[in-house]
Chain A
Amino acid sequence: MRNLTLKQIFTGIIVLILVILFPLVFSKPFPQHVMILIFMFGMMGVAWNIMGGYAGMFSFGQVAFFGIGAYTSSFLLITYHVNPWLGLIAGGVIAALVGAAIGYPCSNLRGHYFAIASIAFAEIVRTHFNNWKLIGAAEGMTLPMLEESFENFMFHSSKLPYYYIILAFLIIALIVCRFVATSKMGYYFRAIKESHDVAKVLGIHVVWYRLIAIMISAFLTAMTGTFYAQYVLYLDPESVMILPISVQIVLISMLGGAGSVMGPVIGAAILIPVSEITRVMLGHKGTGIDMIIYGALITLISVYQPKGVWGLFLQIGKRMK
């Protein structure tokens, strides 16, 4: 958690250049779409990591924040013609407040109990959205086709602008995460993750810091939701707010390495292409083979490499010393 080494900065710049050039080289929509998914899930993984990998609150309910973000900005756009960029902020703020409201009574929950509470919370929200006429209930919400522009946060002729916007969002999320990880907050989160007792005797206001972690995580996740809404132009609870997506967010963080800044991005970069490719190659017949592989993969990683890819890097790094 010190200053970045020269090697790290150099690698980062190379990767950034590659990523910026990618859609110009691979100009077909499918690869661009896969990359957009990687960035989206990477961002949600980073957001999850702040409350999960660092503060120890393993949430399996992130889709609730995703949905709140997506629906808030879309609803404001459709009903009150509020600019989606403003809607983005509104969605983030509401998600953060909801997160704090549910997080507060859960302040003493840890491990399994917290995980289940997060599932219960997300399911309640999903059920409610499924029945809430104001936002379309189960039929969902369709966004209006506005004129293509940055201001309207809508592009019809190419995926490129979406690509760069979500990349920028991801970079913002990474900067936030790194700031948290290398600051007092990061140390305090890790103490809370270890044990509430240890945190208390070091003078840490456990409840307060837990809420902060949740709020940051919720805000970033909601931002991703708004992006998704503007990208796909259609929302419905059964596609957008279901448990498997929350689980996927946890998985990519664990696969890449929970508790490290870049971990979730690495995890997304591996898992999303794998699941997209297996789905296209094996899943379209509805046989579920792609998911069988997915399930087996998760199980194996949990057992044999729970610290993820980043953990592997660290182990190799230690051995090389």
Chain B
Amino acid sequence: MKKVPCLEVNGVTKRFGGLLANDNINFTVEEGEIVSIIGPNGAGKSTLFNCVTGFYHPNSGKISFMGEEITVYRADKICKMGVARTFQIVQVISDMTVLENVMTGALLRFSKIRPSLEKAEEVLAFTGLKEKKELSVTELTIADKKRLEVSMALATQPRLLMLDEAMAGLTRVELREMMDLIRKIREKGITLVVVEHVMEAVMEISDRVIVLNSGRKIMEGSPQEVVVNKEVIQAYLGEKYNVVSP
């Protein structure tokens, strides 16, 4: 019997006035995969993200999570169903401590304070922020803030975690740590969809890569296939670069 895919995106189209941000996007993500979405700026990656997570509603098309159609669901409902996400510009709660931030996420599943506290501590240990749990958010580095944001998302016990440019602005060492964290998350059985610009990370962690350009999906395949694809290279570098196949 065929397993229900984790995420199915069918013919999703999103317009903003005259701008066609997403044009008939189709793809599927199976449970346990790490799928990266890449593409030049303005390709429609964030729009797609927002459509899947309920921040926008597509003009047409269908989005399903674990077999249930979520196309018009509210963002918080989609989160309750098991889809968590982070933002391109890190969003955490600034007048709370690290621990309180993660607790707020944990409260979704554990309505009482005590169990949420325990769950939050567990998550912080997992993501490596345990020592910093009493710090105020304002005292964190960018890398730690990103890690906090991931912790908050994990505290909601998602089945699918969507990361929006989690690697941006990180040093080499921080990049390594983030990639290790992503692998650890997959090992826990959580599916990951990642929007990324840092190609090194994409190559290393992805099972599959989806490429968007000007609102359309132009290619899908393994990282190795995608990186030598003519159309993909042209999308990033522009027409005037002559592409010679290896």
A-to-B contact residues, CB < 8 Å:
1, 182-184, 187-188, 190-191, 194-195, 197-206, 259
Contact = CB atoms under 8 A, between A and B. Distances in A.
Contacts of A259: 95
9 contacts: A184-B112, A187-B100, A194-B93, A201-B53, A201-B91, A203-B108, A204-B108, A205-B74, A206-B76
B96 interface: yes
A197 B77 CA distance: 13
Contacts of B113: 182-184
Could you say which of A184, A202, A204 has the most chain B C-beta atoms within 10 Å of its C-beta? A202
B56 interface: no
Nearest to A209: B76
A228 to B, nearest CB: 33
A203 B92 contact: no
A1 B114 CA distance: 12
B76 A191 contact: no
Contacts of B224: none
Contact of B94 (A194, A200, A202, A205): A194
A202 B75 CA distance: 9
Nearest to A1: B100
Pairs of residues from A and B, 3 with the lowest C-beta to C-beta distance, nearest first: A203-B79, A200-B75, A203-B108
A45 to B, nearest CB: 19
A184 B119 CA distance: 14
B146 to A, nearest CB: 14
B76 A187 contact: no
A306 B84 CA distance: 35
A178 to B, nearest CB: 13
B76 A194 contact: no
Interface in B130-149: none
A1 B96 CA distance: 11
Contact of B152 (A182, A184, A202): A202
Contacts of A195: 91
Contacts of B53: 201
Interface string B102-143: 011101100111001000000000000000000000000000
B76 A199 contact: yes
A204 B80 CA distance: 9
Contact of B96 (A182, A183, A190, A199): A190
A204 B92 CA distance: 14
A194 to B, nearest CB: 4
B93 A190 contact: yes
Interface in B58-107: 74-77, 79-80, 84-87, 91-96, 100, 103-105, 107
Given A184-B116, A205-B77, 20 more contacts: A1-B100, A184-B107, A187-B100, A187-B104, A190-B95, A190-B96, A191-B104, A197-B87, A198-B92, A200-B74, A201-B75, A201-B84, A201-B153, A202-B104, A202-B156, A203-B79, A203-B105, A203-B156, A204-B76, A205-B74
A187 B85 CA distance: 19
Interface residues of B, number: 32
Contact of B76 (A182, A190, A200): A200
A206 B86 CA distance: 18
B91 A197 contact: yes
Nearest to A195: B91
B79 A200 contact: yes
B23 to A, nearest CB: 25
Contacts of B92: 194, 198
B145 to A, nearest CB: 12
Contacts of B80: 203
Contacts of B108: 202-204
Contacts of B95: 190, 194, 259
B100 A202 contact: no
Contacts of A182: 113
A205 B75 CA distance: 9
A187 B155 CA distance: 14
Given A184-B113, A195-B91, A198-B93, A205 B107 contact: no
A184 B79 CA distance: 17
A205 B93 CA distance: 16
Contacts of B153: 201
Contact of A201 (B85, B94, B96, B103): B85
A268 to B, nearest CB: 23
A203 B76 contact: yes
A259 B75 CA distance: 27
A195 B152 CA distance: 14
Given A191-B93, A194-B94, A202 B103 contact: no
B94 A187 contact: no
Most buried by B among A191, A203, A259: A203
Contacts of A188: 104, 107
Contacts of B91: 194-195, 197-198, 201
A158 B72 CA distance: 62
Contacts of A187: 100, 103-104, 107
B107 to A, nearest CB: 5
